[in-house]
Amino acid sequence: MRSHKNVKPYYQDSAVTIYHGDCMEIAPQLGRFDLLLTDPPYGIGKILHGGWSQRTRDTMYWDLKPVDIYPLIKLAKNAIVWGANYYQFRPSRGWLVWVKRNALPSMANVELAWTSFDKNSKYFDTTISSTNAERVQHPTQKPLALIKWCLLYAGDVHTILDPFAGSGTTGRAAKDLNKTAVLIEKEERYCEIAALRMSQEVLPLFRKKKTKK
């Protein structure tokens, strides 16, 4: 697996390496990848908590200041970026859509991913309730099946970078599909969760305790 002498992995196995730290500092040291697959912070946390309630909609979105994803895209041959409707990417033919049936009225019914692929746009249809069992205390965790679908859409890719790894779903998907991945996460609590997910050879991650009869 990829590593750099100046950066010590938080976790590493034959398929996945996890780094704890700032992706803008770590990622450029790791070379190039086949695919950047990530779900970066969109800058909407203040909206969700009412921080911009007094602003107009146009001004509010102008002040979101989403994380600068553009330098990271250059580190991979191709890219899939969720939440891309909060950015200004060049036109793409290969947008991906996650359709979230039975989402709460306060939630979006779809999420969008920009890709660099010259392919037809596709959608992945699921229900929110069907993903509840796999959640591991990360507020914006993507379903494992969705991320596996992204990797299959990407085609012949072997090395994947996720610089905003969260709970490690990209790594888990890559490992299950016999690919290799490098994950970078700024918050140690999520690195710990991701490392635990990578160490599990058989999912689900958490098993219910048996009750005594």
Tokens standing for residue 115: 């890709």
Structural domain includes residue 211: no
Structural domain includes residue 89: yes
Structural domain includes residue 205: no
- 113 bridge partner residues: 82, 96
Structural domain includes residue 80: yes
Domain containing 177 equals: 11-199
Structural domain includes residue 212: no
Q: Please count the structural domains in the chain.
A: 1
Q: DSSP code of 170?
A: H
Over residues 71-130, the pLDDT tens digits come to 999 999 999 999 988 888 889 999 999 999 888 887 789 999 999 999 999 999 998 777
pLDDT above 90 (res 146): yes
- 97 bridge partner residues: 112, 123
Please give the pLDDT value at position 70.
Answer: 87
Q: Residue 140 is part of a domain; what is its CATH number?
A: 3.40.50.150
Residues 6+ apart with CB under 8 A from 143: 126, 130, 131, 134, 169
CA dihedral sign, ordered 76, 177, 98, 189: negative
- 123 bridge partner residues: 97
3-state secondary structure of 120: coil
The pLDDT-based confidence of 137 (bands split at 50, 70, 90) is confident
Structural domain includes residue 149: yes
Over residues 18-49, the pLDDT tens digits come to 999 999 999 999 999 999 999 998 755 544 44
CB 115 within 8 A of CB 155: no
Closest by alpha carbon to 165, among 125, 129, 192?
A: 192
Cα separation, 182 vs 1, whole angstroms: 8
Structural domain includes residue 71: yes
* Residue bearing tokens 């409707």: 85
Among the ranges given (10-14, 15-19, 58-62, 200-204), the one the predictor scored with the smallest mean pLDDT? 58-62
